[in-house]
């Protein structure tokens, strides 16, 4: 294998590693969106599924979800026959919000968060953040293993490992920034 091919392989490995780390951070941000803050957010319902014609389907695919006055979600199904299914799915979920069925749609009113509930939510955010960092470290380990299997000269291997570590550090900073932002959002009254 020539020097040019080796450099191309390393570049591809770095690009793939960066792509995987970027996806891990984006996944973490999506998870953060499902954590309740003081404002209503349709993403709160992303994890709730209903059985629609035998297929588990997210609520946002069978209904329109709108935010009313910042503290209420209004769910209006495209097919009125599934109103009860949506209501049951919300009751069965871990949202802890009682649905109010008005015959056309469902209202979910978010009560104000207590100080203790805010602290609990920040702990949940911190736990998700740590899981995100573990994912980054796993991606780093995989990339490092691939570099070591190439049998490169010591100086080239060291540079590749340093580049991978720099990527990991950069994405860890991004995770910290997203975590800080989400915790600030939760603690802001």
Distance CA 173, CA 182 (A): 14
pLDDT band for position 189 (cuts 50, 70, 90)? low
Domains for the chain: give ranges and CATH numbers: 3-34+114-187 (1.10.132.20), 42-109 (3.30.1360.40)
Higher-confidence residue of 64 and 189: namely 64
- The per-residue pLDDT for 38 is 67
Span 84-94, pLDDT tens digits: 988 888 888 87
Span 13-66, pLDDT tens digits: 999 999 999 999 999 998 888 786 767 778 888 888 888 888 988 888 999 998
| 160 pLDDT above the threshold of 90 | yes
**Residue 111, CA distances (Å) to 8, 39, 73, 116, 185 in order:** 55, 9, 12, 14, 16
Higher-confidence residue of 72 and 166: namely 166
pTM: 0.72
| 95 pLDDT above the threshold of 80 | no
Percent of the chain with pLDDT over 70: 97
Looking up tokens 């009254």 gives 189
Q: Cβ contacts of residue 179 below 8 Å, gap of 6+?
A: 125, 126, 129
Percent of the chain with pLDDT over 90: 44
């Amino acid at each position: 294998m020539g020097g040019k091919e080796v450099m191309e392989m390393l570049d591809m490995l770095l690009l793939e590693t960066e792509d995987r780390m970027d996806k891990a951070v984006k996944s973490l941000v999506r998870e953060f969106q499902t954590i309740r803050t003081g404002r209503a957010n349709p993403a709160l319902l992303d994890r709730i599924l209903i059985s629609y014609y035998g297929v588990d389907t997210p609520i946002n695919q069978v209904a329109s979800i709108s935010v009313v006055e910042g503290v209420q979600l209004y769910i209006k199904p495209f097919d009125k026959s599934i109103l009860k299914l949506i209501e049951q799915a919300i009751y069965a979920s871990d949202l802890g919000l009682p649905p109010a069925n008005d015959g056309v749609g469902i209202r979910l009113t978010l009560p104000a968060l207590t100080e203790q509930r805010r602290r609990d939510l920040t702990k949940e955010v911190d736990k998700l953040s740590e899981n995100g960092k573990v994912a980054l470290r796993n991606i780093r380990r995989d990339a490092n293993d691939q570099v070591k299997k190439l049998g490169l000269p010591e100086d080239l291997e060291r540079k590749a490992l340093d580049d991978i570590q720099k990527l990991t550090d950069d994405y860890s900073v991004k995770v910290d920034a997203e975590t800080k932002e989400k915790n600030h959002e939760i603690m802001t009254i």
